Amino acid sequence: MTDVRCEHGIYRARKMALLVLVLLGAAAFKVGLLTLDAVPFNADEAVVALMARHILQGKRPWFFYGQAYMGSLDAYLIAGAFRLFGQHVRVIRWVQAALFLLTLATGYRVARRFTGGRRSALLTLVLMAFPPVLMTLYTSATLGGYGEMLLIGNLLLWWGHRLGYKDAHNWTLWIAWGLAAGVGFWAFGLVLVYLAPAALWLIWRLRARVWQGAALAILAFFVGSAPWCLGNVGQLTVGLAELLGTAVSSTVTAATLLGNVGMRVFSFLVFGFPVLFGLRFPWSVHGPPLCLGVPALTLYLGALGWGLHRRATATAQMREGRWLLWGVWGALFLGFVLTPFGGDPSGRYFTPLYLPLCIFSAEVLDLLRQRFGRWAWLMLGAVLLFNGVGTVQAALTNPPGITTQFDAITQVDRRYDEALVEFLQVHGCTRGYTNYWVAYPIAFLSNEEIILIPRLPYKADLRYTSRDDRYPPYREWVAQSSDVVYVTTNHPRLDGLLRRRFAALDVSVREKQIGDYHVFYDLSRHVTPDELDLPFE
């Protein structure tokens, strides 16, 4: 008996060592990307960083600046890290890396519970730890809540499944589940793709037999989501509308609802699956060598088919766990095709699909191992090689690097940020006008010494939205300045238009090109964009 226990203990120790090794490997991979400076500092990330700085100064924002959705949880976490390690871009990335490691750990627990096997759970962890570029991107750079959403989503599946079985009378777990759901709802509404199927499954599974737990969860949800409610006091309809995608309504291109649904279904299949599988980069229709992607495509398509297969040996717990995973897919599909979010081609909203895909793929790999032995590891190795080649290829092709920008005109070469800041400081150009993708990174990097408000268009057709101007105090700072500067990026048409407008107003101006930045400085007087009468579309 002692020998059996000893062998079991050694087996568990080996599994734990493998688990830790995979997590360390994932952390090392993130460090490598940071060392290469492969992920450009983007404007959305800069807004979160500025929010974190302002939190340390005593501000208490409820949401991402200029919005009534996507809570400020990420900014508060980064503010804590800023307090400990200083206000640097790398610190923002450390927070995202920590969230990713927690997502991996909780993803392992979900897989362990849903598959019933340690090997399948470990394979799930390996696939998640070294993913396609899509997951690498949105777990490295923050857009305000993706890391928290993935982590909380895992908790909702893991804890929710436990509540459906032997933990149904664990009142503490009910409270924790409800709090996680509420906080997740505030942090990023995309958490609903986890919450909706988990809640519906619990209702079906327990059939109100544990009403006390359900009541506690609902109460805890309202406590957790209180920041969302407080932030939308007096504008509840605005908050709900933005939660449903009104902020991205410009992505709708068809004339009818049916037409839009059809286009989004097409986008789901044609743009979504390739980026999820790693066949293309989130910012491009191109990707790593497709010949290397054959094993990955084979595995993933086979895994989806396997996920629909009814295994005779599967327990009820495993079968219902599988349908919970499909519930995430179903909820995301409906949200994608029925709301304007479905017009986004980047694939960012597909990140919740990766855990179910990895679990199904891990089960297929384990099945292949049982039938063909170690040959199955060749398949795993080929998939990891494909993911790694794609990530390294994207990291070394900089610009654009591993970027969140799908539109090429917004892919600014951030290697010239410091040169731009230095030039503006030397010439006393600390106030002015620019576009969204320049304003906030420069504000953060200059410690808010240089404030350029986003009043210029960045799209090729000169479309502009006032939502780009997200922080009202900056407008006052610029309005009070006697000298202003104009900074554009990758936009010869706009540059020519500005020259003509300045000449028409008899305003003298000097120009300077710094990388992708074109600077109009030393204006003879303060000229506002309104005076230029720019033909915004």
Mind listing the pLDDT tens digit for each residue in 76-113?
A: 999 999 999 999 999 999 999 999 999 999 999 999 99
Q: Check whether residue 49 and residue 93 sit in a common domain.
A: yes
148 has a pLDDT exceeding 90? yes
Which residues lie across from 25 on neighbouring strands? none
Quick one: pLDDT band at residue 33, thresholds 50, 70, 90?
very high
Q: Tokens 């949880």 appear where?
A: 73
How far apart CA 135 and CA 168 sit, in angstroms, is 33
**What average pLDDT does range 216-241 have in this prediction?**
92
Quick one: pLDDT band at residue 407, thresholds 50, 70, 90?
confident
| CB-CB contact of 526 with 481 (8 Å) | yes
Of the ranges 8-22, 64-78, 252-266, the best mean pLDDT one: 64-78
**What average pLDDT does range 240-255 have in this prediction?**
72
Q: Is residue 327 one of the residues assigned to a domain?
A: yes
**What average pLDDT does range 358-371 have in this prediction?**
95
Q: Check whether residue 269 and residue 179 sit in a common domain.
A: yes
**What average pLDDT does range 350-371 have in this prediction?**
96
The last residue of a domain, from among 342, 372, 396: 396
Quote the pLDDT of residue 490.
Answer: 95
Quick one: pLDDT band at residue 249, thresholds 50, 70, 90?
low
368 has a pLDDT exceeding 80? yes
Quote the pLDDT of residue 344.
Answer: 87
pLDDT, tens only, 430-443: 999 999 999 999 99
Closest CA to 434 of 443, 447, 444: 443
Which range marks the domain in which residue 230 is found?
2-396
- In sign, the C-alpha dihedral spanning 279, 280, 282, 285 is negative
| CB-CB contact of 353 with 107 (8 Å) | no
Q: Check whether residue 158 and residue 63 sit in a common domain.
A: yes
The fraction of the chain above a pLDDT of 90, given in percent, is 82
Q: Is residue 356 one of the residues assigned to a domain?
A: yes
Q: Phi-psi category of 181—alpha, beta or left, where left has phi over 0 and alpha has psi -120 to 50?
A: alpha
Pairing of strands 451-454, 431-434: parallel
Quote the pLDDT of residue 244.
Answer: 83
Considering only residues 375 and 331, tell me which one the structure prediction assigns the higher pLDDT: 331
10 has a pLDDT exceeding 80? no
Q: Check whether residue 108 and residue 206 sit in a common domain.
A: yes
Q: Is residue 401 one of the residues assigned to a domain?
A: no
Quote the pLDDT of residue 102.
Answer: 98
CA dist 164 to 157, 214, 356, 360, 505, Å? 11, 11, 19, 21, 71
**What average pLDDT does range 523-533 have in this prediction?**
95
Q: Check whether residue 277 and residue 337 sit in a common domain.
A: yes
Of the ranges 119-128, 244-253, 452-461, which one carries the lowest mean pLDDT score? 244-253
7 has a pLDDT exceeding 60? no
The last residue of a domain, from among 337, 366, 396: 396
How far apart CA 189 and CA 245 sit, in angstroms, is 10
Q: Is residue 419 one of the residues assigned to a domain?
A: yes
Quote the pLDDT of residue 298.
Answer: 96
Which residues lie across from 489 on neighbouring strands? 517
Quote the pLDDT of residue 343.
Answer: 85
Quick one: pLDDT band at residue 8, thresholds 50, 70, 90?
low
**What average pLDDT does range 200-224 have in this prediction?**
93
Quick one: pLDDT band at residue 251, thresholds 50, 70, 90?
low
Q: Check whether residue 207 and residue 331 sit in a common domain.
A: yes
**What average pLDDT does range 167-187 have in this prediction?**
97
317 has a pLDDT exceeding 90? no
- In sign, the C-alpha dihedral spanning 105, 107, 36, 438 is negative
How far apart CA 115 and CA 321 sit, in angstroms, is 8
Quick one: pLDDT band at residue 371, thresholds 50, 70, 90?
very high
Q: Is residue 433 one of the residues assigned to a domain?
A: yes
Q: Check whether residue 137 and residue 280 sit in a common domain.
A: yes
What mean pLDDT is reported for the chain?
93
**Helix segments in 397-480, DSSP class H:** 417-426, 436-445, 472-479
Q: Check whether residue 9 and residue 48 sit in a common domain.
A: yes
Q: State both tokens at 102.
A: 């927690």
466 has a pLDDT exceeding 70? yes
Quote the pLDDT of residue 175.
Answer: 98
Quote the pLDDT of residue 145.
Answer: 93
Quote the pLDDT of residue 82.
Answer: 98
How far apart CA 434 and CA 348 sit, in angstroms, is 26
**What average pLDDT does range 273-283 have in this prediction?**
96
537 has a pLDDT exceeding 60? no
Q: Is residue 289 one of the residues assigned to a domain?
A: yes
**What average pLDDT does range 515-534 have in this prediction?**
95
The last residue of a domain, from among 371, 396, 421: 396
| CB-CB contact of 265 with 337 (8 Å) | yes
Quote the pLDDT of residue 359.
Answer: 97
Quick one: pLDDT band at residue 9, thresholds 50, 70, 90?
low
**φ and ψ at residue 375, rounded to 5 degrees:** -60, -25
Q: Check whether residue 371 and residue 499 sit in a common domain.
A: no
How far apart CA 13 and CA 404 sit, in angstroms, is 40
Q: Check whether residue 62 and residue 161 sit in a common domain.
A: yes
Quick one: pLDDT band at residue 256, thresholds 50, 70, 90?
confident
Q: Check whether residue 436 and residue 528 sit in a common domain.
A: yes
Q: Is residue 405 one of the residues assigned to a domain?
A: no
381 has a pLDDT exceeding 90? yes
Quick one: pLDDT band at residue 53, thresholds 50, 70, 90?
very high
For 449, the 3-state DSSP assignment is coil
Quote the pLDDT of residue 360.
Answer: 96
Quick one: pLDDT band at residue 237, thresholds 50, 70, 90?
confident
Q: Check whether residue 442 and residue 350 sit in a common domain.
A: no
Quick one: pLDDT band at residue 318, thresholds 50, 70, 90?
confident
Q: Is residue 82 one of the residues assigned to a domain?
A: yes
**What average pLDDT does range 444-456 have in this prediction?**
97
**What average pLDDT does range 166-174 have in this prediction?**
95
Single pTM value for the model: 0.95
The total number of structural domains in the chain stands at 2
Q: State both tokens at 190.
A: 């995309």
Quote the pLDDT of residue 133.
Answer: 97
